[in-house]
Structure 1
């Protein structure tokens, strides 16, 4: 049987568990038969309505926070684009037949994103495991066993929830410190002097996967030249921020004395070999010569820079790509290549958070970037940088941090 012959709508309706589809605005788009039956709601009472208008928290019980916890989980999925499994929750569900009467339910939800072609979250799959009957120990000889088991399970669920909240708060504090450390290490765009340039850094949303990305802008010592580079450290948090600062500083120093970008990356690779946490870091550096109108470049496992020629053609600088830093036990000289440009061209360097999406080929992300750059090629660097971030990053932010440099040539 082929996909075309399978009635997926019928499959969805017949799924043996409670499953609903929600929009990113938390509006019910669909629900299967089991969800309708166990929630005690009809299709008309669900579809097209806001989830928490259908299932509000019990206003008579301040401890009834199940719906608020569910809202936090669902919004986390929209923001991060990642699946979120919740601990067992107690929910007070209002009776449709007796308004004002609330029944305790015990549900274990899992919320998962459905991504569109552009990598954005377009739907949420809200799957619920109904365990109320298990918690209430149906068939017990007396109600006491049921109440004891219910209380124990609910207590454990609340303890897990409180532990998760403490972990999130701890992560948030580390995230703030790491971001402040990174900001102090990254160079200011003013280092380019009269050159028109824009730089952007966007931290990851809802996670500690921040502070591994970096950029570098440096005036080179010979001739009318500058060096522009970006890099990405594997890891996150304070450790990644520290490694990032070491690698950026080393590349700045190497670029000032190297004969070309390949030699600068050779030096950086040898340095990365003795820096804990620098394994598999990536970087790409370009030497831009304004007198000879050339860009010489070399890449250590990093996505290619994009050169937007004055007439609107996009050229990805991918002819000198080598493995990441410290990838070889015995380093060999890295390759480098050169390309010409005319006045009015724009070079764009970035990290993988801008173009990569889970389950998507990288060429799709590169095509998306090229389309955006052509659309805004006549804009000034600041406007162009903002437009590219707006069009390529998910609305709620990406799950990986993103660095972007735009230089008008």
Structure 2
């Protein structure tokens, strides 16, 4: 027996419980027979497809958040490499044979990482215990032999459901506090001299998805100059909002005294080493100089700002991009680039919620942004900001926050 070769694929397929494997991007890599049978899906309907494509939340029920909660748990496991046992979740599962019909299901999930030899998460194990029958036990008159056992199981399932409801309420309260904190730290900008500016902050939908996006606009000394920045802290909730506030304040101060955007980001990077949770933050800092009609910029892993010319041409400022904060163990000077602009041009800074979509190349999102900018090039900053959010954010609700800054040059 010691020399026997174990067919782990066969073991996986024969497991008596519901088990699926997903990539860190939440794409199903495999599912065992019990998972397919209990979910009412074929292998072709599951493997190779994104989580929300296989199991979307019920659009007819605003309170339906089971899949968003599952996605948040899986994302947390992918980020931390630690196992996460979720409370009982209610899912509205769309019928595979009757599109548009939704079945109420109750699953108790446990999610765990699969690590490679370097300790990196390469797969996510999603084990599910189906307890729908227990939740609905009172609707069927049980036989005398099973009455006591089913009543006990039903009580335990209801207890789990109540715990889940309390967790959902706690998450909702945390989201409200985090949103209030973000809004307090991200006020509408006052006019910087005579220049027009518009800002927007659009929170993600769902109780777990308040993130750490921020923007900043400051009046710089030494002429008609303005510092404009956007950033994105990794993570969600109050912790991310708190880190965001610290980094935003630090960069706002550094930009006023540093010799250009690159030096401001170098100072921010040194400060970020002392802030727990600041690692891998992305941020781009720009300096708009109306005296010389130039924009100096430097990016720490962030998406490139867009420069919209009056004729509709869009240029992405991507010639000074470096890794995110904390990505290097040693201090390294960051790059900086300068581009000219003409009166009437528009500078647009944004976070990834505006352009990134699951299972879509980032260039597709940038092309979509460029087309929208060209289409609305004659709008003033306020109307342009509203038009971009309307054109680019999903109608079903964004799964990531969006910060947007527009400056008329």
Q: Equivalent residue for 1:342?
A: 342
* Distance in 1 between residues matched to 2:151 and 2:89, nearest whole Å: 12
**How far has the Cα of 1:248 moved from its partner?**
1.0
Is 1:230 the counterpart of 2:204? The answer is no
* Distance in 2 between residues matched to 1:78 and 1:90, nearest whole Å: 7
Q: Equivalent residue for 2:314?
A: 314
* Distance in 1 between residues matched to 2:218 and 2:398, nearest whole Å: 28
Is 1:76 the counterpart of 2:51? The answer is no
* Distance in 2 between residues matched to 1:300 and 1:198, nearest whole Å: 23
Q: Equivalent residue for 2:17?
A: none
* Distance in 1 between residues matched to 2:393 and 2:91, nearest whole Å: 35
* Distance in 2 between residues matched to 1:359 and 1:90, nearest whole Å: 23
**How far has the Cα of 1:171 moved from its partner?**
1.2
Q: Equivalent residue for 1:178?
A: 178
User: Does the 8 A contact of 2:64 with 2:91 survive in 1?
Assistant: no
* Distance in 1 between residues matched to 2:194 and 2:163, nearest whole Å: 52
Q: Equivalent residue for 2:354?
A: 354
Relative to structure 1, the CA distance from residue 378 to residue 82 in structure 2 (aligned partners, 3 Å threshold; closer, same or farther) is farther
* Distance in 1 between residues matched to 2:156 and 2:62, nearest whole Å: 19
Relative to structure 1, the CA distance from residue 152 to residue 266 in structure 2 (aligned partners, 3 Å threshold; closer, same or farther) is same
User: Does the 8 A contact of 1:107 with 1:131 survive in 2?
Assistant: yes
| Residues 73-128 of structure 1 deviation map (CA, whole Å, 9 limit, x = unaligned) | 8843798995999958799xxxxxxxxxxxxx995479xxxxxxxxxxxxxxxxx9
User: Does the 8 A contact of 1:80 with 1:205 survive in 2?
Assistant: no
| Residues 31-64 of structure 1 deviation map (CA, whole Å, 9 limit, x = unaligned) | 9xxxxxxxxxxxxxxxxxxxxxxxxxxxxxxxxx
User: Does the 8 A contact of 2:258 with 2:264 survive in 1?
Assistant: yes
**Unaligned stretches of 5+ residues in structure 1:** 1-14, 21-30, 32-68, 92-104, 111-127, 137-141
**TM superposition score normalised by structure 1:** 0.69
* Distance in 1 between residues matched to 2:151 and 2:343, nearest whole Å: 73
Is 1:324 the counterpart of 2:324? The answer is yes
Relative to structure 1, the CA distance from residue 316 to residue 80 in structure 2 (aligned partners, 3 Å threshold; closer, same or farther) is farther
**How far has the Cα of 1:147 moved from its partner?**
2.7
**How far has the Cα of 1:208 moved from its partner?**
2.8
**How far has the Cα of 1:151 moved from its partner?**
2.4
* Distance in 1 between residues matched to 2:62 and 2:388, nearest whole Å: 29
| Structure 2 residue matching 1:395: 3-state secondary structure | coil
Q: Equivalent residue for 1:250?
A: 250
* Distance in 1 between residues matched to 2:332 and 2:153, nearest whole Å: 60
Relative to structure 1, the CA distance from residue 350 to residue 107 in structure 2 (aligned partners, 3 Å threshold; closer, same or farther) is closer
Worse-superposed segment, 183-192 or 254-263: 183-192
Q: Equivalent residue for 1:370?
A: 370
**How far has the Cα of 1:129 moved from its partner?**
7.0
**How far has the Cα of 1:191 moved from its partner?**
4.6
User: Does the 8 A contact of 1:307 with 1:347 survive in 2?
Assistant: yes
User: Does the 8 A contact of 1:304 with 1:316 survive in 2?
Assistant: yes
Q: Equivalent residue for 1:394?
A: 394
Q: Equivalent residue for 1:303?
A: 303
User: Does the 8 A contact of 2:213 with 2:401 survive in 1?
Assistant: yes
* Distance in 2 between residues matched to 1:145 and 1:403, nearest whole Å: 60
**TM superposition score normalised by structure 2:** 0.69
Aligned residue-pair number: 315
| Residues 3-36 of structure 1 deviation map (CA, whole Å, 9 limit, x = unaligned) | xxxxxxxxxxxx855648xxxxxxxxxx9xxxxx
Relative to structure 1, the CA distance from residue 74 to residue 364 in structure 2 (aligned partners, 3 Å threshold; closer, same or farther) is farther
**How far has the Cα of 1:372 moved from its partner?**
1.1
User: Does the 8 A contact of 2:69 with 2:208 survive in 1?
Assistant: no
Q: Equivalent residue for 1:209?
A: 209
**How far has the Cα of 1:223 moved from its partner?**
1.1
**How far has the Cα of 1:337 moved from its partner?**
0.7
Q: Equivalent residue for 1:167?
A: 167
Worse-superposed segment, 313-322 or 395-404: 395-404
**Unaligned stretches of 5+ residues in structure 2:** 1-35, 46-57, 74-85, 93-102, 109-128
| Residues 230-287 of structure 1 deviation map (CA, whole Å, 9 limit, x = unaligned) | 0011122222222111111111111111121101111111111111221111100110
Q: Equivalent residue for 1:264?
A: 264
Q: CA RMSD in A?
A: 3.6
**How far has the Cα of 1:217 moved from its partner?**
0.1
**How far has the Cα of 1:156 moved from its partner?**
2.6
| Structure 2 residue matching 1:192: 3-state secondary structure | coil
**How far has the Cα of 1:187 moved from its partner?**
4.2
Q: Equivalent residue for 1:6?
A: none
Relative to structure 1, the CA distance from residue 90 to residue 292 in structure 2 (aligned partners, 3 Å threshold; closer, same or farther) is closer
